[in-house]
């Protein structure tokens, strides 16, 4: 026979969670409005509010200006009940931010990196973390945890990193334990492009979309796949590793920065005397020249768009995603790439996805890290 003694505490917890969710969605909000939205009786709402007020999760507040309130008391969540830290560990930059439970960024700092290794990265992360706390004038005790985006495949169970070649040495050490020892908070490690996808879902162009692909193209290529509203990691945490999608195809189809430079060099003899481009063919300059009408650069862009479309193709064909979001240093050249990519996909697929440029840009990974941190911290604060 089931033990019924646990039912009242469970119902109490569920009621309090429903009340808190209603306050977060509709604050400032009155007791009567909470009862109407949740379907919970006013006396039960009052009991839940008392517990939430005593725990410091919510507080009384003034009603919205020009809104009738008839003497009612209004409530709002306490954003500073906990803080979360997001970190984006890249090959060239370390980006960090600290936010409250509303997701409002209280401080952000970026550090340019040179000759990064896992060991030097740990030192830089520690310094950046201290600077973020100093910037907001808060001790480390107010931080619920840190979410760190890293290049490479992150094992969902152990947090170990593989294929993390952008940060030499990260695969040979327990990066999570190292970070937790240095920062003194719980650390969650996640693939950086997976976080970028979650950032676009939370605050970017993918809001309200359940099935989409985030494709980042820069010095390397990575993707994050969201299906049915949830991040799809795969069995080994390696879902989205599109570098391997076209392995075995004899044609060179790499769309990343180094491949763009190689392609530009290969096409150079065809446009001798008709181009402003000179070695070593930096991709940024190639795209800039294409905007001025340089035929050599425009030919490179045409081929680059085809290569990107070919990497989108297998995901769109199999997963039937609604949206593809392009990011990264090369992927954000939407004025040159979007139209030809869309044309290719429309030609090749019966149901081509919409293709757009990231609305968050270089902040996508950091935004995703904060999103994951906020979701976890809200649960932790409620449980505590």
* Claim to verify: residue 38 and residue 96 sit in the same structural domain: no
DSSP state of 218: S
* Claim to verify: residue 115 and residue 171 sit in the same structural domain: yes
Residues spanned by the domain of 111: 82-199+366-383
Q: Which helix (H) or strand (E) holds 6?
A: none
Q: Of 380, 362, 383, whose CA–CA distance to 188 is shortest? A: 380
Q: Beta partners for 88?
A: 95, 149
Query: Tens digits of per-residue pLDDT, 190-210?
Result: 999 999 999 999 999 999 999
* Claim to verify: residue 232 and residue 186 sit in the same structural domain: no
* Claim to verify: residue 13 and residue 44 sit in the same structural domain: yes
Q: Which helix (H) or strand (E) holds 74?
A: strand 74-77
Residue finishing a domain among 23, 48, 77: 77
Residue finishing a domain among 24, 45, 77: 77
Total domains in the chain come to: 3
Compute the mean pLDDT over every residue in the chain, rounded to the nearest whole number.
Answer: 92
Query: Tens digits of per-residue pLDDT, 84-142?
Result: 999 999 878 899 999 999 999 999 999 998 877 888 889 999 999 999 999 998 776 78
SS3 category, 322: coil
Residue finishing a domain among 77, 112, 129: 77
* Claim to verify: residue 214 and residue 178 sit in the same structural domain: no
Q: What percent of the chain has pLDDT over 90?
A: 75
* Claim to verify: residue 87 and residue 189 sit in the same structural domain: yes
- Residue 60, domain CATH: 1.10.10.10
Query: Tens digits of per-residue pLDDT, 47-56?
Result: 999 999 998 9
* Claim to verify: residue 61 and residue 139 sit in the same structural domain: no
Q: Of 269, 265, 271, 305, whose CA–CA distance to 285 is shortest? A: 265
Task: Give the pLDDT of residue 141.
Answer: 72
Q: Average pLDDT for residues 218-229, to the nearest whole number? A: 94
SS3 category, 86: strand
Q: Average pLDDT for residues 66-70, to the nearest whole number? A: 70
Q: What span, in angstroms and rounded, lies between the C-alpha atoms of 31 and 45?
A: 7
> Edge-to-edge, what's the strand order for the sheet holding 74-77?
29-30, 74-77, 58-61
Task: Give the pLDDT of residue 10.
Answer: 81
Query: Tens digits of per-residue pLDDT, 76-86?
Result: 999 999 999 99
Over 90: is that where the pLDDT of 329 sits? Answer: yes
SS3 category, 211: coil
* Claim to verify: residue 28 and residue 88 sit in the same structural domain: no
Instruction: Please give the model's pTM, rounded to 2 decimal places.
Output: 0.90
* Claim to verify: residue 235 and residue 121 sit in the same structural domain: no
Q: Which residues contact 161 (CB under 8 A, 6 or more apart)?
A: 150, 152, 153, 154, 155, 170, 171, 175, 189
- Cβ neighbours of 255 (radius 10 Å): 25
| Angle, CA 306 vertex, CA 301 and CA 309 arms, to 5° | 125
* Claim to verify: residue 71 and residue 194 sit in the same structural domain: no
Q: Quick check: 87 and 146 in contact, CB under 8 A?
A: yes
* Claim to verify: residue 120 and residue 73 sit in the same structural domain: no
Q: What span, in angstroms and rounded, lies between the C-alpha atoms of 95 and 85?
A: 11
- Residue 345, domain CATH: 3.30.420.40
- 295, with CB counted inside 10 A (0-12, 13-18, 19+), is middle
Task: Give the pLDDT of residue 210.
Answer: 98
* Claim to verify: residue 188 and residue 227 sit in the same structural domain: no
Q: Quick check: 244 and 238 in contact, CB under 8 A?
A: no
Query: Tens digits of per-residue pLDDT, 228-242?
Result: 999 999 988 889 889
Q: Quick check: 85 and 185 in contact, CB under 8 A?
A: yes
């Amino acid at each position: 026979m089931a033990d019924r003694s646990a039912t009242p505490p469970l119902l109490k917890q569920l009621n309090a969670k429903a009340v808190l969710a209603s306050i977060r969605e509709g604050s400032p909000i009155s007791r009567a409005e909470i009862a109407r939205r949740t379907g919970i009786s006013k006396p039960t709402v009052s009991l839940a509010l008392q517990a939430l007020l005593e725990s410091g999760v919510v507080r009384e507040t003034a009603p919205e200006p020009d809104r009738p309130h008839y003497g009612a008391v209004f409530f709002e969540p306490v954003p500073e009940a906990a803080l979360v830290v997001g970190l984006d560990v890249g090959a060239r930059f370390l980006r960090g931010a600290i936010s409250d439970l509303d997701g409002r960024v209280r401080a952000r700092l970026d550090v340019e990196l040179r000759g990064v290794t896992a060991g030097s990265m740990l030192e830089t992360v520690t310094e950046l973390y201290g600077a973020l706390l100093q910037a907001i004038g808060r001790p480390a005790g107010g931080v619920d945890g840190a979410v760190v985006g890293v290049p490479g495949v992150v094992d969902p169970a152990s947090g170990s990193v593989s294929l993390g070649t952008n940060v030499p040495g990260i695969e040979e050490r327990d990066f999570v334990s190292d970070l937790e020892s240095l920062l003194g908070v719980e650390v969650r490690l996640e693939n950086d492009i997976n976080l970028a996808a979650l950032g676009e879902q939370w605050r970017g162009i993918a809001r309200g979309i359940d099935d989409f692909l985030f494709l980042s193209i820069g010095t390397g290529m990575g993707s994050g796949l969201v299906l049915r509203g949830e991040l799809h990691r795969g069995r080994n945490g390696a879902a989205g590793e599109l570098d391997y999608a076209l392995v075995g195809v004899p044609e060179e189809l790499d769309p990343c920065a180094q491949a763009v430079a190689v392609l530009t060099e290969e096409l150079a003899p065809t446009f001798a005397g008709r181009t402003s481009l000179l070695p070593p063919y930096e991709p940024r300059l190639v795209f800039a020249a294409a905007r001025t009408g340089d035929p050599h650069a425009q030919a490179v862009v045409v081929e680059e768009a085809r290569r990107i479309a070919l990497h989108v193709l297998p995901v769109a064909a199999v997963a039937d995603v609604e949206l593809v979001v392009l990011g990264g240093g090369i992927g954000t050249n939407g004025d040159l790439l979007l139209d030809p990519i869309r044309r290719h996909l429309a030609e090749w697929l019966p149901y081509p996805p919409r293709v757009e440029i990231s609305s968050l840009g270089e902040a996508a990974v950091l935004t995703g890290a904060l999103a994951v941190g906020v979701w976890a911290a809200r649960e932790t604060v409620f449980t505590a």
